[in-house]
Structure 1
Amino acid sequence: MKLSVIIPCLNAADTISLQLEALAKQEWSEPWEVIIADNGSCDQTVAIAQNYQERLPKLQIVDASSKSGAAHARNVGASVAKGEALVFCDADDEVAPGWVAAMGEALSKYDLVGGRNEHWKLNEPWLVKIYGCQEGDGIFMNHPYLPLQSGCNLGVKRSLHEAIGGFDENIFILDDVDYSWRLQQVGIKPHEVKDALVHYRFRNSIIGICRRAWDMGRQEALLYKKHRSMGMPQLMSWKSFVRTAVMFPLRFLLLKVRNKVSLTQCLMDLAWRGGQLRGCIKYGYLPF
């Protein structure tokens, strides 16, 4: 088996059929498989996935419910994979035509790869504008520490996954960033595959967006604490918390908040900084 596509999922009944439909239409000359790693769904996720076993004859569905988190589900999926290379995507996105072939061919040449994400197909316009990613994105090469990769469109040689011990299951969000950084720390450079396109789905409500921003901020403190000892520069400052607290009311007073997009951006920034502060307290990370 050349390639294993691993999809962690939890209560993805509303979206997983779109992803599996897209995978069922993929074509590649080499052998490949799909592994659904279910993290304890209590909806119809597993039943829907089972309906695709005829169209995807090399589809496995494995129980990954013994521990919460995408990291655990990805590790369980990787543990039963037969592929020489592993590719990760998510149950709420949609891979574009040619994605499997592009990732598979890239992994025959490179050890660590990432595709590009497109945001217009699965999201309302106001959501895309909030994140300022109208042109799409891929591997973020300009991070002051190491390039950032997302687990929704990431591929790696199986031997390297095993060498670093897989995903850190103590990190519930940003485990994919930590994973990519640990691979880079042992000398593996990421390569962007422009033809491996994924249609990415954002949270579609203001509450959902803010909740995710809070969770990411909280986990950032844990991630930064872990990597500080590995040479990561100081990226979180107490000044940023003060600045956010001051600027939040000023945005309203100065009429900077004029529509749904600017309101959500303001609330998302506040939630993110609040999550960072909570994470600093919880994980003992000093932002100075």
Structure 2
Amino acid sequence: MIASVVVAVYRGLPDLDVQLSALGEQDCAGDFEVILSDNEGSEELRDWAATHPLRARLNLRYVDSSDRVGTSHARNVGTRSANSDFIAYCDQDDAVHPGWLRALTDAGESADLIGGPLESHTLNDPVVASWRALPDPAEPVVLGRFLPITFGCNLGVSKRVFEAVGGWDESYPTAGSDVDFCWRVQTSGYTFGYAPEAMVAYRYRTGYRETWNQVIDYGREEARVAKQYGAPGRQWWWLPVHAGVSLALLPIWPWGWSRRRRGEWVWITGNLVGRISGSWKYRVFYP
């Protein structure tokens, strides 16, 4: 078995079926398994998985991780039940591209932790896709002017390394957990690799309020992990620049009333508010 794919699930239907269909189209050579780690403990999901038409192709298994709330806990439970020495993580509401698992496992032969890029056009309407710019898919993201990271929805790691660093930190239930995991692996002496062909179609939140809450969580928990690892973050002058962009996009004039403009403002301003909130909460300057 070349890999175990762990999907942390919480009230994942019906979007989860899109992800399983994408996993069923992987072009890799060799068998792999898919583990649904259910953080809700849903009988509906258990029964659904047991009768899923792709259960044989995916070697689909259900594990209950509802004893503690959080994506990090669900990933830990799923990983520790895995049968393969290579673990690949994806999320319930995205869709991996056909070459995703092949690219991750190939890159995993020469690095301990593997990342890949995201794209926004497959699962989102064009307006929602314009709200948030994704990083350049050709190279990894270096966050906080410190070390490269990959997102938890597109990450591969040796199970040996996972165990050596203690798995996912469950004090980061959701936001910030992937940054912490990537930096902990690298600061423990293990190597980071990047696979540009390991592409994932990423699904955005479509409501202003849920987008606002998500980006504030991101900014706040990035401040926490930056303090934990001593990452310098952006230079001080970025704060007034960020605030100026937020003010310029403020949708108070008629030409700013479009759904596109409002979504952009929510994302940019929410990120600023999250960073300020995290700086205050964790007593660190993280503009």
Give TM class, smaller chain: 0.7 to 0.9
* Residues 17 and 48, structure 1, Cα contact 8 Å, conserved in 2: no
Show the 5 A alignment for 1:208-247: 208-228=210-230, 232-235=231-234, 240=239, 244=243
The change in CA–CA distance for 1:263 and 1:159 in structure 2 (over 3 A counts) is same
Decide whether the 8 Å contact of 1:3 with 1:32 is kept in 2. yes
C-alpha deviation, 1:60, in angstroms: 1.5
Maintained 8 Å contact 2:49/2:55 = no
Change (3 A) 1:55 1:187: same
Q: Given the two structures, how large is their TM-score scaled by the length of structure 1?
A: 0.86
Measured against aligned partners, the alpha-carbon deviations of 1:54-102 in whole angstroms (never above 9, x if no partner) come to 4346222111112211111111111111111111111101112132222
Q: Which residue of 2 aligns with 1:177?
A: 179
Aligned length: 285
- Helix, strand or coil at the partner of 2:150: coil
More displaced 10-residue stretch of structure 1: 181-190 or 15-24: 181-190
Q: Distance in 2 between matches of 1:23 and 1:112?
A: 20
Q: How does 1:1-288 map to 2 (within 5 A)?
A: 1-40=1-40, 44-52=44-52, 54-56=55-57, 58-133=59-134, 139-141=140-142, 144-171=145-172, 172-228=174-230, 232-235=231-234, 240=239, 244=243, 248=247, 251-252=250-251, 257=256, 259-287=258-286
Q: CA deviation at 1:109?
A: 3.0
Structure 1 residue 12 displacement after superposition: 0.7
> Structure 1 residues 280 and 6 mapped into 2: Cα distance closer, same or farther (>3 Å)?
same
**How big is each residue's C-alpha offset from its partner over 1:103-141, in whole Å with a ceiling of 9 and x where there is no partner?**
222223332212222211100111222213497576214
User: How far is the alpha carbon of 1:181 from its aligned partner?
Assistant: 1.1
SS at match of 2:147: coil
Does the aligned pair in 2 maintain the 1:241–1:273 contact within 8 Å? no
The answer as to whether partners of 2:275 and 2:286 remain within 8 angstroms in 1 is no
How many Å apart are 1:194 and its aligned residue?
2.2
Report the AA paired with residue 89 of structure 1: C
Deviation at 1:161, TM superposition (A): 0.9
Q: Secondary structure at the match of 2:107?
A: helix
Q: Deviations over 1:22-77 (max 9, x none)?
A: 22232433332111111115584443333326434622211111221111111111
Q: Is the 8 A contact 2:223 2:282 kept in 1?
A: yes
User: Any conservation in 2 of the 1:37–1:62 contact (CA below 8 Å)?
Assistant: yes
Aligned CA distance change for structure 1 residues 62 and 238 (closer, same or farther; 3 Å): farther
Quickly say closer, same or farther: Cα 1:58–1:250, change in 2 above 3 A: closer
The answer as to whether partners of 1:16 and 1:45 remain within 8 angstroms in 2 is no
- AA paired with 1:275? G
Instruction: Return 5+ residue gaps in structure 1 as ranges.
Output: none
**Secondary structure, in 3 states, of the residue corresponding to 1:30?**
coil
Q: Give the direction of change, closer, same or farther, for the CA distance of 1:21–1:234 in structure 2 (3 Å limit).
A: closer
Equivalent position SS for 1:109: coil
Q: Which runs of 5+ in 2 are unaligned?
A: none
Q: 1:16 to 1:137 in 2, by over 3 A?
A: farther
CA distance in 2, matches of 1:236, 1:35: 41
In 2, distance between residues paired with 1:138 and 1:287? 24
User: Alignment RMSD, CA only?
Assistant: 3.0
Displacement of 1:177: 1.3
Q: Secondary structure at the match of 2:98?
A: coil
* Whole-angstrom CA distance in 2 between matches of 1:247 and 1:122: 27
Task: Give the direction of change, closer, same or farther, for the CA distance of 1:113–1:239 in structure 2 (3 Å limit).
Answer: closer
Structure 1 range deviating more: 179-188 or 242-251: 242-251
Q: Give the SS at the match of 1:89.
A: strand
Spell out, residue by residue over 1:123-163, the C-alpha distance to the aligned partner (whole angstroms, 9 max, x if none). Answer: 01112222134975762147511112111111111111111
